Every structure is written in structure tokens, then in C-alpha cells.
Structure 1
Amino acid sequence: MALSSSGQGETVAVVSVTFNSERLLADLVASLETGMQGVSWHLTVADNASTDASTSEIRRLLPEATVVEMGRNAGYAAGINAAVAAAPPHTAILVLNPDIRLTAGCAKELLSVLGRETSGIVVPQLERGDGSYIPVLRREPTVLRALGDAMLGARRAGKYPMFGEIVTGDRYYQSETMADWAAGSAMLISAECWQRCAPWDESFFLYSEETDFALRARDAGLPTRLAPAARAVHLEGDSKQSPGLWALLMVNRARLYRRRHGFASSAAYWAALVLREASRALLGSKPSRAAVRSLTSPARLRQAPSAQTVRANG
């Protein structure tokens, strides 16, 4: 578990949050053995009151791992904060979803970019199980980009920096590209970045917490960067299929934007999100119908989301 052949004195705290993740853990742990090769590391898992055997499975697979039992479904950000706080001494933090599978040498590549460039966060190139790449880089949310997403679709709008939040186009993924933020399913965070910008904002519960953290890091002069030679497979979750999760994702996007902008701009951004989701709801999308209900509910926009909020949206 604690390999140390890099000679650089780096120790990575690998942290993950589980919630009924038992079926994913064997492959995650197996991928760590090759993905962390040449790097000193340890694993800390925060479990959000799983009702399956997630905690016992981690202890069986990797007895040296630290397991933090949260006692409730406290949300993703709270789990990350608790895992980092409980982790043994470290010089960097690798946040991983349970459905991430590192490829050989991934961590060493991430550390190389983190140490060579001015960065607070470095992310690998993610791929789907079929080998196709996942665009992980993101631009800062703006009203124009929300409208571009609504009118053109995220992938098409992403080709145009002014109109797309998701960074699409092969040219951006062939070099160590800097971005405003990146998908949070796999990210290496420097110790300096964590010390200056942590903790993750637990009021988001799930979604937008990584956006908030990365934007705060960028504002502090610690940007996010892609390490194109570092590869990982993401099995991807079900937010696009689950009405409750999709509604939560949209509401948190509106809440985050409101925290960083004035009233008029926030109202325009909210309207663009409603337009996007309403157009898809008219085409029969159940997740988008749930998103419209939540976006047009003053109570849900005001209150911090919770596990109960997700269940209420289906």
C-alpha cells in the first residue's frame, strides 16, 4: 500500500467517499496498486452511512486503509473533508470517486505536472469503459455559456470558449491545458492548495462543491491543469438518469453562481438554466421536469440541499 520508489519524498493521501459502493471497491483498490506505482500513498475512505457492506469490504481489501464512518449521509464535500482530516501525513491529496479506475503510472504523471507547473489542482484524462475520452475541463459558468448550452447543447457549445462551459475539442486535451475548473471525480490537490482553500463547502451536499473549490483555488493563483499522459477510466454515475440527482445538480449550479455574482446576473443565469431544462422537459425528459420544479421553487433554491432533497425529487 505504501510504495516509495519515486525518491521525491511525496506521499499522497488517496481519499474517497462511499455510499452503498460495495460493488465498486474491489476494482478501485486493484487499480490503485498499478495507478499509484512509484508513489508513496495511503487510502482513507469516508462512508456516508452505507446500508451495504462498503466499510467491511474496504477493510477486507486493504486492512491498512483508514475508514471514517460518518454516521449519516452527510454529502460528498463533508466526506472529503472528513477523509482528509483523518488521513495520515501527506504532501498531496488524490480525490477519487469509487467508480474511477486508475491506469498504470497515473499518479506519477499527475505529481509530475503538479510539481513542474504552477497549479493547485491537476486532473487526469478520463475515459469511458469503451475507451472514448470524457471532456473533463470546464470554463467558469457565465450567462452566455448557460445560454449556449441551452441553445446548442453542451458538446457543440463547448467548441466555442465564449458559449461553452464544457471544454470540447481534441486540441485542448493533447497538452497540459489550464482550465477554470474540472470534473471532480479524479483530481490531485497540492498541500498548499488544500491549506489555503479548504475545506470544501459542505452546503452543496453533492455537485458544485468541486466547482466552488477549484474557482476559489484559481482566484488564489492556484489553477487547475490537465495532465494528458495521466489516464483513468470513469464508469460514470447516474445523475443524468436520476430526476433527483439531476435536479440537485441544476439547483446547485444556480446557488453557486448566485454566491459569486450580483442579483441581475444571477437572475439571468437562473433563467438560462430554466430555459434549458424546460425545453428538454417538453421533449419528455423526466430529470429535466424535476429540475424545472426545483429551479422554480424558492424554498429549494434557498435551502442547502440534503439527502432528503434528493429523495423528494425522485
Structure 2
Amino acid sequence: MLDAIGSLYADCAASGLNADVYVVDSASSDGTPDEIRSKFPQVKLIVSATNLGFSAANNVAIRQIMANDPPPVVYLLNPDTRTHPEATQRLQRHLLSDTRIGLVGAQLEYADGTFQPGAFTFPGLRQLWTEFFPTPGRLIEGRFNGRYPRAWYKLGVPFPVDFVLGATMMLRREVVEATQGFDEGFFMYCEEIDWAWRIHDAGWQVQTVPGALVTHFAGKSSAQVRPQMLIQLWKSRLRLYRKHYPAPKVLAARLLIVLGMALKLRQTPAGAERDAYRTIRDLASGRG
């Protein structure tokens, strides 16, 4: 968290950008709020006594930002990131270069400096298959699994995508006003996909900006509670399908998820099996 804040401030200062930074702390117990107050007293800190979840926590900050004299852009940044020089400016410059663009995301890299896909096509049945069942590597890394060609990123030129990962999302003020932020029915996972979907439906483009580099230390928090997060992932994915796909495709997705999660149970710790079985039962019956 502190590295994310510090690197963002440093990048904005070097680029001459004026930015108010909001941080929402969802019931952390590690002293993070006190550290932020001590090291970054200029941060507008919002402390919640309960874990709001990704969508609601972001919406709390968004509502405050938009309440009075909203800025031309709103930038959402995960706490497990580090901003590289000029990334923020490049995102803002491209977003405001064309009124048809409503949302942009940065080029992501993993902690070891290797490439991390930061943009994808909207998930369909093929992506479900690759996540659960054996699939050749060339298909996993290709369009079959929603990936854009690595060569497109290497060109360094922004290009249109279906959605960008929630780790970095910069949006026009008009887009935030028109689409009203995240759907809080998604507690965790798929919320950025749903919002991007609604942004497309409202007539704006979503693009990724390869020249804007952000390190994303992905998966650290969810790795500590993987069985529960796995269950939450597939409940959210099915909710996304119900919201945006016709009934026959939702039924096919439900069947794939039920079969896939049954296979995943073999890798689930014994203490989480009851919840996992309950989730599969609910999905199969239509309640999940």
C-alpha cells in the first residue's frame, strides 16, 4: 500500500500533475491507516470498520470525488501496485485525446519484471473451459482464452480492448457520471468486467496504453484464502454471465462451472470442502 501511494505521488510530481489521492481502508488490522497518516498526511483517508469488498470500497471514494467539482478523470489504482515514471501522465493524455475513449488501463508487469496481460476480451465459454480443463498452452495464451497478441503490446501503441484489469483504471468524469461506478453486487472479481461492459454499451471505447507501465504484485491477498476466493470467483463469474448473456449461454456456463469446480475440489483443503460442495449444489440448482 505505502509503495503504491509513494510511487503514484512521485510520478505525479515528476509529470507536473495535480492529484488528490483517496485511500479506502476496509477494516485492516495491520496498522495501515496509522502508517498512511504518518507518511502521507495529505492523503484523504477513508477508514471503514467492515470489509466493504472491492466494488463498494471503490465506490465510496468515487462518490466523494464526484460530490464537489469533480476532476476531468478518476484514476483507480490497486494497493498492490508500483507506478513507473510517466505512467499516470500517459494514461491521462491518451484518455483525453479522444472523446470516444471512456476508460484506459496501463501495461502491467509482474514483480519480477515479466509481462502480465492487463487487457482481455469479454469472457465466454472458451475461457471457462481453459480455466478448468486441460488445454494446449498456445490456446491458453491466445485469443481462445481472451488474450490479445503480445506483439500488439510491443508496438507501444494504444489499442481498443473489451476490458482492462481493475488494477489500473482511469476513467473520464462523464463516464463515471453516466455509468455510476461498480455494481456492488460483485463483492470481489468480475466487477471491472461488468463496468467495462456497461461503458461499451453506453457508447465509449476501452483501451490499453502499453507506454504506461505499472508493476502489479498480483494475487498476494487472495493467495492467503484461496479456497474461499475460488468459490467467490465462480459465483461472480456466473453472476456476470446472467447479467450480460442470454439464458442458453448462462445454462452452458453453469454446467461448465459445476463440472469444473467438482474437479477443483480435489485440490481444496479439507476445511473448505463443505463450503465448496454447498456452492456447487447452489450453482447446480440455480441459486448460486
Q: Answer yes or no: same fold by TM over 0.5.
A: yes
Aligned to 2:29: 51
Please give the per-residue CA displacement for 1:213-255, whole angstroms capped at 9, x wherever unaligned: 1111011122221111000101112435611112111110011
Larger helix proportion of the pair: 2
For residues 168-183 of structure 1, what are the structure 2 equivalents within 5 Å? 168-174=148-154, 175-183=157-165
Matched, 1:35 2:11: yes
Higher RCO, 1 vs 2 (CA within 8 Å, ≥6 residues apart)? 2
For 2:252 and 2:165, the matched residues in 1 are separated by 24
Q: Percent identity?
A: 27
Cα displacement (A) at 1:302: 4.1
- For residues 103 and 291 of structure 1, the distance between their equivalents in structure 2, rounded to whole angstroms, comes to 41
SS in 2 for 1:202: coil
- Partners of 2:274 and 2:122 lie apart in 1 by 25
After TM superposition, list the pairs within 5 Å mapping 1:221-260 onto structure 2: 221-238=203-220, 239=222, 242-260=226-244
5+ residue gaps, structure 1, are: 1-23, 304-314
* Contact 1:274 1:292 (C-alpha < 8 Å) held by counterparts: no
Q: Give the root-mean-square deviation of aligned CA atoms.
A: 2.6
Question: CA distance change for structure 1 residues 221 and 31 in 2, over 3 Å: closer, same or farther?
Answer: same
Q: Matches of residues 260-279 of structure 1 in structure 2 within 5 Å?
A: 260-279=244-263
Aligned length in residues: 276
Matched, 1:74 2:52: yes
- Is the Cα–Cα contact under 8 Å of residues 243 and 290 in structure 1 kept in the other structure? no
Partners of 1:54 and 1:68 lie apart in 2 by 12
- CA spacing shift, 1:38–1:154, aligned 2, 3 Å: farther
Aligned 8 A contact 1:278 1:289 in 2: no
Q: For the structure 1 residues 35 and 275, does the alpha-carbon distance in structure 2 shift closer, same or farther, using more than 3 Å as the test?
A: farther
CA distances 1:261-301 after superposition (whole Å, capped 9, x unpaired): 2332111012222333334444x355996895354132897
The residue that corresponds to 1:212 in the other structure is 194
Separation (CA, whole Å) in 1 of partners of 2:273 and 2:148: 27
Q: Which residue of 2 aligns with 1:12?
A: none
Unaligned runs of 5+ residues in structure 2 are none
Report the secondary structure of 1:233's partner residue: strand
The letter of the residue matching 2:86 is G
Distance 1:294 1:178 in 2: 39
Matching of residues 50-129 of structure 1 within 5 Å: 50-87=28-65, 89-117=70-98, 118-129=100-111
Q: CA deviation at 1:154?
A: 9.3
